[in-house]
Amino acid sequence: MISPESAQSMVDKMTKANRDLRKQLYDIVLYSEGAFRVDELYQMPLSQLSEIMDAFTEKREKEKEAIDAMQSKNTRKF
């Protein structure tokens, strides 16, 4: 038999996981500029959602590297 404390702990973990998943879904919608709809994302398996998030992270890192490279080229030394 599961103790009430253990049950509450499991509920808390599931609630946090659910909240984190919703945040990821909304981030995908936001950062994809509407390329994905929330209802479409809810139908995708978690593995596909992870791949999409990884792609956004990689894109953001490449953009940052390009900006940093441009800024270092434009820095004048006196």
Question: What pLDDT is recorded for position 73?
Answer: 77
Residue pair 25/42 in contact by the 8 Å Cβ criterion: yes
Question: What pLDDT is recorded for position 77?
Answer: 60
Each residue's pLDDT tens digit, 18-69: 999 999 899 999 888 889 999 999 999 999 999 999 998 999 899 999 998 8
DSSP codes, 10-67: HHHHHHHHHHHHHHHHHHHHHHTTTSS-HHHHHHS-HHHHHHHHHHHHHHHHHHHHHH
Question: What pLDDT is recorded for position 76?
Answer: 60
Q: H/E element holding 69?
A: helix 46-74
